[in-house]
C-alpha cells in the first residue's frame, strides 16, 4: 500500500522558489570584481535567474548539456547556480587555480558547451579559447561598460545584455529529481581529475542535512560569508543552504586577504563563515596584529584539511567564535561529518575537549561510515584503531563521469582514500591520506598529529609532515615548516617541542625550513611535491654524516 501524500521531486529550482516567496527581502551582498559592492535580494536573484534561464534556452543549451563557469563567489555566479541547474542543464564549476592545460582538459572532457567567466579570467580564457573546441559561446560576466573593446575570443557575449534581453516570465521545468544538476572534478593530485556529477535529489538532501543544528546550524537569522569558493564543491553547499533557510549571503569576490575579509565581516554583520585552514591563518594573523575583535561572528566552519587545535583555540578563546570542524570531499558534494559535541562531552576538561574538537566528527544523517583493514574487514570503533574510511549515502558518488576509473565502490561502499579512527561516540578522526601515510619500520605514524603539534608552536605558521626515505627504517617523518615572519625557531627547539606530546619514536628526524609550502588549487598542502623535493632528504643527510665520520655505517 502506498502512502497518500503528494509526491514532489526534490529540485534545485524549488530552493529558489522558496527563497523568493518566503525570504524575498533577504539580501545578497557581493564584492564585485569590478570593484564596488553590489546589493540585491532573493527576489531579485530569482527574477534574474529566470531571465538567465530563458537566455540559456535561446543560446540553444539543451537539457543535460554542460555550462562551465570560471567565477569567484558573487551574485552572478549564484544566478548561474540556479538558472543552469533549474532549467535542466548541468552547471560545471571550473577551478581557475588549476593550470590552463588542466582546465582545457577538464572542459573538453566534460563537453562544456558554454563558458561563463569573470573579468579577472579574461586573459586566461583568451589564452585557452582556441583549444576549447567544444565551447559554442563564451559569456563575460559583466556589463557593457566593462566589456573589452576587442578580444581574441570568438562569440564573446556580455552577460548583462543577455539578461536584459529577456523578461522574467519563466516556469522552471519539473525535472526528474535524479537528473544531473552540477558537475565538479576531483583535485586529481595523481592521474587525471575525475568528474563527479551531482543530482537535484542529492543536492537538496545534502542541503537539508547540512543546515541542521548538529551540522552547520544555519538559520534565517544568519549572515553567511562563504570564503570557500563556489568553484569547488558548491562552496560546501552554502549557496543552497542560504535559500533553504533565508540566510543573508555575503560574497567576497576575488579579494580574500585577511584585512578585506575582516572589513566585510564587520560591515555586513556576518555571523558565520566557512573556509579551509589556510584562509583563516591570514585572517587570524591580521586580527591579532591589529588587536581587532569580531563584533557579530559567532561561528566558522573549517575543513578541506585538518583544522589544527591551535586554530580552534585562537578562534574560541580569543574571539568567542565557535569552530565547526568538518570533513568532506568532492565525491560527497562535499559534507560527510561535522564535529559538534554531544552531551557525553559536557564533563570533559579543557584538554580532553580539545582532543575531541580536533576530530572531524560524526556522520550527518544520510551518510554512513566505517573503517576497514587491509583485508576489507570492518575495524572496531575504539578511537585508536585506524583503517581506510569508507562511506555510503544519498550524496555519495556512485560512479565517475563517463565511467572513468571503473566501478569505484567496494560492496556498495565508497573508499575515501583517507585513513581514520572512529571512537565509540561515533566521532571520526582523519589520521592521514592513505598515500601520505608514514611507515617507519613497518609501524604507521600519523602525519596530521605531527602537524597539529607543530602548528601549536607560536613561531610556526604552516607545517607539513612527510614520509622521507630512510636507510634503516624505510621511512621516517620529516617536518617541513614555515615560520611567522617576525619569529624564529631552531631545528632543536622545534624537535624538543614534541617531547612528552607523542611517543618518542614518532618525533620527526629532521626539520626543513621553507618560505612557503606549495598549495594546490583547493588550498591543500601539496605533500606529493614536498615528497618529490625532500623524499631523499634523510638519505642524503645520513650519507653526509657518514662522510663526515659522525656516524658509523650500520
**CA distances, 435 to each of 283, 307, 375, 418, 431 (Å):** 30, 19, 17, 8, 11
Binding mask 510-529 for ligand AMP (x = CB under 6 A): ------------x-------
> Rounded distance, CA 468 to CA 453, Å?
19
- Under rule CB under 6 A, residue 360 binds ligand AMP: yes
Binding range to ligand AMP, per CB under 6 A, among 45-53, 415-423, 466-474, 507-515: 415-423
Helices 238-245 and 12-22 meet at what angle, rounded to 10? 40
CA angle 419, 229, 37 (to 5 degrees): 155
- Under rule CB under 6 A, residue 142 binds ligand AMP: no
The distance of closest approach from Cβ of residue 419 to ligand AMP in the complex, given in angstroms and rounded to an integer, is 9
The distance of closest approach from Cβ of residue 329 to ligand AMP in the complex, given in angstroms and rounded to an integer, is 3
Smaller CB distance to ligand AMP: residue 292 or 341?
341
> Rounded distance, CA 141 to CA 118, Å?
5
Binding range to ligand AMP, per CB under 6 A, among 41-49, 136-144, 155-163, 320-328: 320-328
Binding range to ligand AMP, per CB under 6 A, among 256-264, 323-331, 346-354, 463-471: 323-331
- Under rule CB under 6 A, residue 181 binds ligand AMP: no
- Under rule CB under 6 A, residue 430 binds ligand AMP: yes
Three-state SS string over 188-222 comes to: CCCCCCCEEEEEHHHHHHHHHHHHCCCCCCCCCCC
> Rounded distance, CA 246 to CA 230, Å?
18
- Under rule CB under 6 A, residue 175 binds ligand AMP: no
Binding range to ligand AMP, per CB under 6 A, among 54-62, 304-312, 461-469, 540-548: 304-312
* Tally of CB atoms within 10 A around 503: 9
Q: In angstroms, how far apart are the furthest CA atoms of the chain?
A: 84
Smaller CB distance to ligand AMP: residue 299 or 325?
325
Q: Name residues whose C-beta falls within 8 Å of residue 330's C-beta, 6 or more positions apart in sequence.
A: 184, 185, 186, 187, 196, 232, 233
Which residues are identified as catalytic?
186, 331, 439, 444
Binding mask 434-473 for ligand AMP (x = CB under 6 A): ----------------------------------------
- Under rule CB under 6 A, residue 303 binds ligand AMP: yes
Smaller CB distance to ligand AMP: residue 268 or 418?
418
**In this structure, what C-alpha cell is assigned to residue 24?**
524575498
- Under rule CB under 6 A, residue 93 binds ligand AMP: no
**In this structure, what C-alpha cell is assigned to residue 479?**
617536518
* Secondary structure E strands in 423-505: 428-433, 438-440, 443-445, 460-470, 474-483
Binding range to ligand AMP, per CB under 6 A, among 126-134, 170-178, 299-307, 397-405: 299-307
**CA distances, 26 to each of 20, 57, 155, 245, 316 (Å):** 9, 28, 36, 10, 29
Binding range to ligand AMP, per CB under 6 A, among 256-264, 390-398, 410-418, 455-463: 410-418
Report which of 187, 52, 204, 66 is spatially closest to residue 132, judged by C-alpha positions: 66
| Binder of ligand AMP out of 45, 84, 180, 233 (CB under 6 A) | 233
Report CA torsion sign: 71, 73, 78, 84.
positive
Contact status, residue 303 vs residue 328, Cβ threshold 8 Å: yes
The distance of closest approach from Cβ of residue 186 to ligand AMP in the complex, given in angstroms and rounded to an integer, is 5
Smaller CB distance to ligand AMP: residue 26 or 433?
433
Binding mask 326-345 for ligand AMP (x = CB under 6 A): xxxxx---x-----------
Contact status, residue 104 vs residue 240, Cβ threshold 8 Å: no
- Under rule CB under 6 A, residue 418 binds ligand AMP: yes
Give the rounded distance of the alpha carbon of 297 from its chain centre: 20
Radius of gyration over alpha carbons of the chain, in Å?
Answer: 24
The distance of closest approach from Cβ of residue 221 to ligand AMP in the complex, given in angstroms and rounded to an integer, is 26
Binding range to ligand AMP, per CB under 6 A, among 108-116, 154-162, 169-177, 321-329: 321-329
| Binder of ligand AMP out of 68, 253, 275, 304 (CB under 6 A) | 304
Contact status, residue 328 vs residue 236, Cβ threshold 8 Å: yes
The distance of closest approach from Cβ of residue 189 to ligand AMP in the complex, given in angstroms and rounded to an integer, is 9
The helix (run of H) or strand (run of E) holding residue 417 is: strand 414-422
Report which of 286, 55, 53 is spatially closest to residue 175, judged by C-alpha positions: 53
Smaller CB distance to ligand AMP: residue 248 or 433?
433
- Under rule CB under 6 A, residue 187 binds ligand AMP: yes
- Under rule CB under 6 A, residue 416 binds ligand AMP: yes
- Under rule CB under 6 A, residue 497 binds ligand AMP: no
> Rounded distance, CA 328 to CA 397, Å?
12
The distance of closest approach from Cβ of residue 80 to ligand AMP in the complex, given in angstroms and rounded to an integer, is 21
> Rounded distance, CA 217 to CA 272, Å?
10
The distance of closest approach from Cβ of residue 385 to ligand AMP in the complex, given in angstroms and rounded to an integer, is 18
The distance of closest approach from Cβ of residue 150 to ligand AMP in the complex, given in angstroms and rounded to an integer, is 37
Smaller CB distance to ligand AMP: residue 166 or 186?
186
Smaller CB distance to ligand AMP: residue 52 or 301?
301
> Rounded distance, CA 503 to CA 196, Å?
40
- What's the length of the chain? 554
The distance of closest approach from Cβ of residue 522 to ligand AMP in the complex, given in angstroms and rounded to an integer, is 5
Smaller CB distance to ligand AMP: residue 228 or 272?
228
- Under rule CB under 6 A, residue 414 binds ligand AMP: no
Smaller CB distance to ligand AMP: residue 187 or 282?
187
The distance of closest approach from Cβ of residue 169 to ligand AMP in the complex, given in angstroms and rounded to an integer, is 39
Binding site for ligand AMP (CB under 6 A): 186-187, 233, 303-306, 325-330, 334, 360, 416-418, 430, 433, 522
Amino acid at each position: 500500500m502506498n502512502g497518500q501524500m503528494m509526491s514532489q521531486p526534490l529540485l534545485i529550482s524549488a530552493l529558489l522558489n522558496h527563497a523568493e516567496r518566503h525570504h524575498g527581502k533577504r539580501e545578497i551582498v557581493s564584492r564585485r570584481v569590478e570593484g564596488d559592492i553590489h546589493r540585491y535580494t532573493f527576489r531579485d536573484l530569482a527574477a534574474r535567474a529566470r531571465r538567465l534561464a530563458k537566455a540559456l534556452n535561446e543560446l540553444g543549451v539543451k537539457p543535460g548539456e554542460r555550462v562551465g563557469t570560471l567565477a569567484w563567489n558573487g551574485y552572478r555566479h549564484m544566478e548561474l547556480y540556479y538558472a543552469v541547474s533549474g532549467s535542466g542543464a548541468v552547471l560545471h564549476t571550473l577551478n581557475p587555480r588549476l593550470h590552463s592545460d588542466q582546465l582545457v582538459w577538464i572542459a573538453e572532457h566534460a563537453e562544456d558547451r558554454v563558458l561563463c567567466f569573470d573579468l579577472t579570467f579574461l586573459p586566461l580564457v583568451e589564452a585557452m579559447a582556441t583549444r576549447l573546441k567544444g565551447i559554442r559561446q563564451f559569456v563575460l560576466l559583466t556589463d557593457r561598460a566593462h566589456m573589452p573593446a576587442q578580444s581574441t575570443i570568438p562569440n564573446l557575449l556580455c552577460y548583462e545584455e543577455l539578461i536584459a534581453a529577456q523578461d522574467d516570465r519563466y516556469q522552471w521545468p519539473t525535472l526528474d529529481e535524479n537528473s544531473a544538476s552540477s558537475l565538479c572534478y576531483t583535485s586529481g593530485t595523481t592521474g587525471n581529475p575525475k568528474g563527479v556529477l551531482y543530482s537535484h535529489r542529492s543536492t537538496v538532501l545534502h542541503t537539508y542535512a547540512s543546515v541542521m543544528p548538529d551540522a552547520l546550524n544555519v538559520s534565517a537569522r544568519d549572515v553567511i560569508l562563504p570564503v570557500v569558493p563556489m568553484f569547488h564543491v558548491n562552496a560546501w553547499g552554502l549557496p543552497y543552504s542560504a535559500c533553504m533557510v533565508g540566510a543573508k549571503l555575503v560574497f567576497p569576490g576575488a579579494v580574500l586577504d585577511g584585512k578585506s575579509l575582516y572589513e566585510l565581516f564587520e560591515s555586513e554583520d556576518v555571523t558565520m563563515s566557512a573556509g579551509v585552514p589556510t584562509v583563516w591563518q591570514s585572517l587570524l594573523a591580521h586580527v591579532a596584529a591589529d588587536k581587532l575583535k569580531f563584533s557579530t561572528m559567532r561561528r566558522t566552519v573549517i575543513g578541506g584539511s585538518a583544522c589544527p587545535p591551535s586554530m580552534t583555540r585562537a578562534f574560541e578563546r580569543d574571539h568567542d567564535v565557535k569552530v565547526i570542524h568538518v570533513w568532506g570531499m568532492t565525491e560527497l558534494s562535499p559534507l560527510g561529518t561535522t564535529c559538534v559535541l554531544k552531551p557525553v562531552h559536557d564533563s570533559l576538561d579543557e584538554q580532553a575537549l580539545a582532543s575531541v574538537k580536533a576530530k572531524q566528527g560524526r556522520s550527518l544523517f544520510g551518510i554512513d561510515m566505517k573503517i576497514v583493514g587491509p583485508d576489507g574487514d570492518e575495524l572496531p570503533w575504539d578511537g585508536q584503531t585506524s583503517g581506510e574510511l569508507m562511506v555510503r549515502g544519498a550524496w555519495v558518488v556512485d560512479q565517475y563521469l563517463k565511467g572513468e576509473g571503473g566501478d569505484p565502490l567496494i560492496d556498495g561502499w565508497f573508499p575515501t582514500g583517507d585513513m581514520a579512527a572512529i571512537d565509540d561516540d561515533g566521532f571520526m578522526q582523519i589520521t592521514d591520506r592513505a598515500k601520505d601515510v608514514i611507515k617507519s619500520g613497518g609501524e604507521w605514524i600519523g602525519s596530521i598529529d605531527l602537524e597539529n603539534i607543530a602548528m601549536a608552536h607560536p613561531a610556526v605558521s604552516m607545517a607539513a609532515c612527510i614520509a622521507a626515505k630512510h636507510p634503516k627504517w624505510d621511512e621516517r617523518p620529516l617536518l617541513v615548516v614555515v615560520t611567522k615572519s617576525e619569529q624564529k625557531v631552531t631545528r632543536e627547539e622545534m624537535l624538543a617541542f614534541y617531547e612528552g606530546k607523542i611517543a618518542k619514536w614518532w618525533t620527526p628526524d629532521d626539520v626543513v625550513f621553507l618560505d612557503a609550502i606549495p598549495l594546490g588549487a583547493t588550498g591543500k598542502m601539496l605533500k606529493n611535491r614536498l615528497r618529490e623535493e625532500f623524499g631523499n632528504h634523510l638519505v642524503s643527510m645520513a650519507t653526509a654524516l657518514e662522510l663526515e665520520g659522525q656516524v658509523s655505517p650500520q
